[in-house]
Amino acid sequence: MQEADNDTPKGFANDKEKRQGFEQIVRQYSEKLYWTVRRIVINHDDANDVLQNVFIKVWKSIGDFEQRASLSTWLYRIAVNESLDFLRRQKDTASIDESGAGANIANRLLADDYFDGNRAQALLQEAIATLPEVQRVVFTMRYYDEMKYADMSRILNTSEGALKASYHIAMKKITAYVQMHEQ
């Protein structure tokens, strides 16, 4: 997110230019967006599904991109919104006991063939999973993606002060959770 958007497509005269611009976006941003989505939805397969939806939305609307924000801000906004929509759909379809949500996430992580972390990393993910959606997103963007609050503010359409407060509260909750569950 911190590099300049030097490769922002400037408009498309025809379908070939649209396809080439889209392919360039996928090459440049797919890994970054994957990890942002993955840290929010936790599971590899779910992250791939969400990322596919992100790129479908990008494809459908790339011709309408107005460059009021940077390309990366626009892409991250789509990715975060798709991730949150996915979590809401999950919550609607599976009435999860909130007190067991963290343990459920840890078990899913440890069973995930693509998770190569140790127990401490699983515990951190478990703690993150217990956070409310907004705090989880803010924590992920700040801690893992090392985003500046100004960039996060543009992506999430929220004040920097509110983001700082959310991050601070998330850190306290994560610290308390990890301390309580360490063995």
Res 11 pLDDT > 80: no
User: Is the residue at 158 inside a domain?
Assistant: yes
Decide if 62 contacts 29 (C-beta within 8 A).
Answer: no
Q: What percent of the chain has pLDDT over 90?
A: 47
Query: Binning pLDDT at 50, 70 and 90, where does residue 115 land?
Result: low
159-175 mean pLDDT: 96
132-159 mean pLDDT: 92
CA dihedral (54, 173, 116, 88) positive or negative: negative
- At 123 the three-state DSSP class reads helix
> Any idea which of 9-13, 119-123, 162-166 has the lowest mean pLDDT?
9-13
User: Is the residue at 1 inside a domain?
Assistant: no
Inter-helix orientation angle 15-41/71-93, to 10°: 50
More confident residue, 138 or 9: 138
- Which residue in 123, 126, 121, 124 sits closest to 102, CA to CA? 126
Please, where are the H alpha helices in the chain?
15-41, 44-61, 71-93, 101-111, 119-129, 133-139, 149-156, 160-181
pLDDT (tens digit per residue) in 55-98: 999 999 887 777 777 889 999 999 999 999 998 888 766 554 44
User: Is the residue at 101 inside a domain?
Assistant: yes
- What was the pLDDT predicted at 108? 59
Task: Give me the CATH number covering residue 150.
Answer: 1.10.1740.10
- Which residue in 138, 134, 133, 123 sits closest to 174, CA to CA? 123
User: Is the residue at 7 inside a domain?
Assistant: no
Task: Provide the mean pLDDT of the chain.
Answer: 82
Tell me 23's DSSP state.
Answer: H
pLDDT (tens digit per residue) in 12-52: 667 788 888 889 999 999 999 999 999 888 888 999 999 99
Cα–Cα distance measured from residue 115 to residue 46, given in angstroms and rounded to the nearest whole number: 13
Amino acid at 103: A
User: Is the residue at 5 inside a domain?
Assistant: no
- What was the pLDDT predicted at 48? 96
Res 110 pLDDT > 60: no
User: Is the residue at 9 inside a domain?
Assistant: no
Q: Domain tally for the chain?
A: 1
User: Is the residue at 6 inside a domain?
Assistant: no
User: Is the residue at 90 inside a domain?
Assistant: yes
Query: Binning pLDDT at 50, 70 and 90, where does residue 113 land?
Result: low
Q: Which domain holds residue 147?
A: 15-181
